[in-house]
Amino acid sequence: MRVVVVGASGNVGTALLRRLAVEPVVTSVVATARRIPRADGSSSVRFPHDTATWAYVDVAAKDADTRLDAALAGADVVVHLAWAIQPSHRRETLRRVNVEGTRRVVEAARRAGVDHLVVASSVGTYSPAPHSPGERDAPVSEAWPDEGVPGAAYAQDKAAVEAFLDDVDRSGDGPLISRVRSALVLQRDAGSEIARYFLGPLGTRVLARGPLPVLPAPDGLRFQVVHADDVADAYAKIVVGRHPGPFNVAHDTVLTAQDVADVVADGNLRPVPFGTARTAAAIGWRARAVPVGEGWLDMLMRVPVLDSTLAHELLHWSPRHDAKDTVAELVAGIRDGAGTSSPPLLPR
């Protein structure tokens, strides 16, 4: 099986290359990226980036179609992971990469006669959870509406991509399409990348000093995570089994602000009213003191809890990493400036 991974140099892509390297039915992997990793002679740095044949592709560039056609030639399966979170102040740039870039990958897959396309989606594609306190934390299946959280750019782009994929499915003239709707994907090697994208220099320095005296966090925060190696295993099972349709992929444990405080602040939590936290996020982002704004907080507070039953039953998938341990691993990675030789994951 020949697999092409578009956007293979980031958090999920690096984990997926590790997983595909030990998958017997995968005979070759072509990895594309806008910034291609370079080995420096150390085996710990080369793996998994030396297990694939690399090709430069910027899905937002003028020559993207030509480069995608070359990279996808002869592919049995294409996994599309390319997605931009920064620069968050340049909305049209993000849309060009995320939405139009996905269109280009789908059209290139059509031209190449690819049988199966697997697209990275997210919990962010889902419409807000129910407002009723008794229903808010009830896990939702893949049938939950996928129109995103209003006002959150990331969520709106994910929802736009899903709507486009729905159109491709209905047309009947494209590849078999699978979608992976994952929770927050974390791993130690992504520590520096995630810090750059979401904390910025000031937040990273504060966290790197050691335990915080107290963690201020929005009251009512709850979220799910999945380790990068576990989500990569789900991707591999979808690829090998040629499973269609959307799959929720998350650890079933729902974490709270207290769980985060236990990891970063020796358990010292100070709940903050959501309105106060949102205003602070908006001011910080507009002042360019923090990398992301209130839209991310809106999404984090309003997305539903994922029910991963379909992945458990159809893919025979289960996460191997504990949810809270995964958060602790990421925090340790941020504090240590962890990363890899891949440009998006370069250590601090």
DSSP state string for 69-128: HHHHTT-SEEEE-------TT-HHHHHIIIIIHHHHHHHHHHHHT-SEEEEEEEGGGSPP
Cα–Cα distance for residue pair 312/307, rounded to 1 Å = 10
- Asked if 98 contacts 161 with a C-beta cutoff of 8 angstroms, the reply is yes
Q: What residues does 37 pair with on adjacent strands?
A: none
Give residue 131's pLDDT.
Answer: 79
pLDDT along the chain (348 residues), means of 10: 97 97 96 84 62 95 98 98 97 97 98 98 96 83 97 97 96 94 98 96 94 96 97 98 97 98 98 97 96 97 97 98 98 95 89
Q: In this structure, what are the phi and psi dihedrals at residue 122, rounded to the nearest 5 degrees? A: -170, 160
Q: Which of 298, 162, 333, 312 is nearest to 251 (CA)?
A: 312
Cα distance between residue 10 and residue 16, in whole Å: 10
> Rounded to whole angstroms, how far apart are CA atoms 78 and 239?
9
Q: What is the pLDDT of residue 326?
A: 98
- For residues 236 and 23, the answer to whether their CB atoms sit within 8 Å is yes
User: SS3 of 142, please?
Assistant: coil
C-alpha span between 182 and 124 (Å, rounded): 9
Instruction: Note the pLDDT of residue 134.
Output: 72
Residue 249 three-state SS: strand
Calculate the alpha carbon distances from 45 to 38, 105, 338, 345 in Å. 9, 29, 12, 11
Fold that domain 2-186+225-251+304-320 belongs to in CATH:
Rossmann fold (3.40.50)
The model carries a pTM of: 0.95
Place of tokens 């047309």: 171
